[in-house]
Amino acid sequence: MSHRVARSILFLTILAAAPSGAQTQGSVGGRSEVFAGSELEKYLRVLQSVGAVPLYPWSSRSFSPAELDALLPLAGDHPWSKHYDWEARHARWTFDLVRPTVTSRFNSTFPYGWNDGPIWAGRGVTTAVQAGFAVRYGPLSLTVAPVAFRSENDGFALMPNGASGRLAYADGVHFSVVALSLRKEDRPYGMLDPGQSTLRVDAWGVAVGASTANQFWGPATDFPFILGDNAAGFPHVFLGTAHPINLWGFRLHGRVVWGRLEQSAFSPESAGTGSRFIAGVLGVATLRWVPGLEFGLSRFSHSVWPPGGPTLDDLLRVVRSQNSANQVRRANDNQLASAFFRWVFPGRGVEVYGEYGREDYNQNLRDLLEEPDHIGGYSYMVGLRKVVSRPGARLISTRFELQHAPAAVVPSGRERLPVYIHSGEPAQGHTERGQLLGSVGGLGGAATVVALDVYHPGGRWTVQLTRMLRQDAGDFPKSGQVNPRARDLQHTIALERLVFRGRYDLLAQAAAVYEMNRDFGRDAFNLNLVVGVRADLR
């Protein structure tokens, strides 16, 4: 066992043995760190389930500083009320630090890690650092929070894909149509990413700005269909509502985004055509007579980056039908769409949610009614959370989330591909720099999470079970042959501890990953360790 692994295990042991009571010395920061998918964003969602945070749509994240003014709990006996600064901000000008965070990830056998933004955790040790600041002046706000990481990227057995050169490191099954990578070549890998950085103006009910931050579209916590934090956020500009607009019977909240995606070095596309233009639209509605219920639609379009830059026609592509172009096979973009809902019952500490998503579009209305998933694959996701309050300002949250994206089927005369893959241009799939923009379980076919989170004044305990279908090579209906290793399945059990110590947040996680039929071969085991420190330097 290497010295670095021994040190990580020692750190985990000490942290697990530490007393669970709060050890705070005054409140620390936090307002500037409620990023989409972050620790604090998830905590606020749990508080909303028990009524400590006002009802507000959660399917359009991240939140602006103005939205956080309405969301942050200003008082009340909740677990982290004394550790973080929850006070209302009335000053016209404010400045906050995004607390410096250092994390180290270790994988013993193969790359493992998801929903961690731009970070790619290869085999060996991956170290990441994030820091920054947030400034607000009236309706204008600026957050600068870059992330730098470096992975040792040690070697491991790659799944043969029949390609050579750089493509030998690409996806083992779909390397010709998706820009995913199994390994970042054969040397250490790292980069500096702009991270959760945003410049925006919120005034007169309108929000406009530019950002590289992650976005969560839809109600999912772990497996969002369109956008989440599995990959880096991409450069984009946006226009939308600053808060839900009251239209009497319902409230409407939404945004339109335009941006640029980049491919990895292991894409089937040449470097000259690797950039993509994206246009997306998201709308979320709440009903006046049904408190806690939100529902909405989203649509997202990829196309090759125009040589002279995007035109008005490109900007409007996402709100127009492409059925006629698709009917004569002239469509030159890849579109995804989803419909979703979320229903919160604060009096009972319960929320339920779900999402249906699909690739591309049909040829016409008849084709849609006959076969809704024609051409592109489809996915559905369901989730449930139950939160129980306990004496001593403790909250116990039980959550479940399942995504199912059926394996590709090719009936006679019909074309259907897995989710996140497109048969024409662009051929990089639904990715940004080699990682999936949506759910990590979408391309493989299925993913499930069952977890127990215990929030208390001293931090958080989490036990999580995950089952993920990475790849499926089963073809029994066509071949009549049973392949006992056709399903590449990962089963993971993880224990995580977050501890507050004065102005420091200490994080440790240990996960055992057992992968059945890895790369359609033998079973494999991976030990995943994560340690992190976030410090308040004020």
CA-atom Rg of the chain in angstroms:
23
Lowest mean pLDDT among 89-103, 415-429, 459-473: 415-429
Domain regions of the chain by residue span: 3-533
Helix (H) or strand (E) holding 15: helix 3-17
Among left, alpha and beta (phi > 0; psi -120 to 50; other), residue 373 is alpha
pLDDT band at 363 (very low <50, low <70, confident <90, very high): low
Closest Cα to residue 37, out of 286, 273, 164, 221? 221
Residues 219 and 342: their CA atoms lie apart, in Å, by 6
Strand, coil or helix: what is 360?
Answer: coil
pLDDT band at 413 (very low <50, low <70, confident <90, very high): very low
pLDDT band at 477 (very low <50, low <70, confident <90, very high): low
Contacts of 15 (CB under 8 A, 6+ apart): 497, 499, 506, 508
Predicted confidence (pLDDT) at residue 15 exceeds the cutoff of 80 = no
**pLDDT for the residue numbered 408:** 53
Closest Cα to residue 272, out of 280, 283, 259, 262? 262
Residues 78 and 394: their CA atoms lie apart, in Å, by 7
pLDDT band at 7 (very low <50, low <70, confident <90, very high): low
Residue found by looking up tokens 């209305």 in the block: 365
pLDDT (tens digit per residue) in 365-385: 676 676 666 656 778 899 999
**pLDDT for the residue numbered 24:** 42
Predicted confidence (pLDDT) at residue 475 exceeds the cutoff of 70 = no
Lowest mean pLDDT among 70-79, 169-178, 349-358, 374-383: 169-178
Half-sphere exposure of 357 (CA within 13 A, CB side): 32
Query: Which residue did the predictor score with more confidence, 133 or 272?
Result: 133
Burial of 173 (0-12, 13-18, 19+ CB in 10 A): buried
Closest Cα to residue 48, out of 40, 60, 56, 39? 56
**pLDDT for the residue numbered 191:** 93
Contacts of 476 (CB under 8 A, 6+ apart): 482, 483
pLDDT band at 317 (very low <50, low <70, confident <90, very high): confident
Predicted confidence (pLDDT) at residue 165 exceeds the cutoff of 90 = no
Contacts of 153 (CB under 8 A, 6+ apart): 122, 123, 124, 183, 184, 185, 186, 187, 188, 189
Residues 318 and 300: their CA atoms lie apart, in Å, by 7
**pLDDT for the residue numbered 423:** 63
Burial of 30 (0-12, 13-18, 19+ CB in 10 A): buried
Most confident of the following: 153-157, 418-422, 513-517:
513-517
SS3 content of the chain, % helix, strand, coil (to 5): 15, 45, 45
Determine the average pLDDT of the residues in 461-482: 79
Residues 511 and 426: their CA atoms lie apart, in Å, by 36
**pLDDT for the residue numbered 525:** 98
What average pLDDT does the chain have?
Answer: 86
402, two tokens: 């399942």
Predicted confidence (pLDDT) at residue 430 exceeds the cutoff of 70 = yes
Contact of 48 with 58, CB cutoff 8 Å: yes
pLDDT band at 181 (very low <50, low <70, confident <90, very high): confident
pLDDT band at 302 (very low <50, low <70, confident <90, very high): confident
pLDDT (tens digit per residue) in 488-530: 999 999 999 999 999 999 999 999 999 999 998 999 999 999 9
pLDDT (tens digit per residue) in 268-291: 666 556 788 999 999 999 999 999
**pLDDT for the residue numbered 47:** 95
Strand, coil or helix: what is 47?
Answer: helix
Lowest mean pLDDT among 164-178, 179-193, 220-234, 351-365: 164-178
**pLDDT for the residue numbered 100:** 95
Could you give the residue ranges of the DSSP H alpha helices within 209-354? 312-315, 323-327
Predicted confidence (pLDDT) at residue 21 exceeds the cutoff of 50 = no
pLDDT band at 19 (very low <50, low <70, confident <90, very high): low
Most confident of the following: 125-134, 365-374, 400-409, 435-444:
125-134
Share above pLDDT 90 across residues of the chain, in percent, rounded to a whole number: 58
Predicted confidence (pLDDT) at residue 173 exceeds the cutoff of 50 = yes
**pLDDT for the residue numbered 534:** 95
Determine the average pLDDT of the residues in 135-163: 91
pLDDT (tens digit per residue) in 437-449: 999 988 878 999 9
Q: What is the dihedral of CA 156, 157, 159, 165, to 10 degrees?
A: 80
Contacts of 365 (CB under 8 A, 6+ apart): none
Most confident of the following: 72-81, 176-185, 338-347:
338-347
Beta strands in 138-212 (DSSP E): 140-144, 147-151, 189-193, 198-203, 206-211
pLDDT band at 75 (very low <50, low <70, confident <90, very high): low
Handedness of CA 20, 24, 27, 32 (dihedral sign): negative
Contact of 334 with 304, CB cutoff 8 Å: no
**pLDDT for the residue numbered 23:** 43
Contact of 529 with 9, CB cutoff 8 Å: yes
Select the CATH number that applies to the domain covering 3-533 from these four: 2.60.120.580, 2.60.40.1080, 2.40.160.130, 3.40.47.10: 2.40.160.130
pLDDT (tens digit per residue) in 215-253: 999 999 999 999 999 999 999 999 999 999 999 899 999
pLDDT band at 412 (very low <50, low <70, confident <90, very high): very low
Query: Which residue did the predictor score with more confidence, 513 or 267?
Result: 513
Residues 434 and 360: their CA atoms lie apart, in Å, by 21
Residues 340 and 266: their CA atoms lie apart, in Å, by 33
**pLDDT for the residue numbered 376:** 60
**pLDDT for the residue numbered 141:** 96
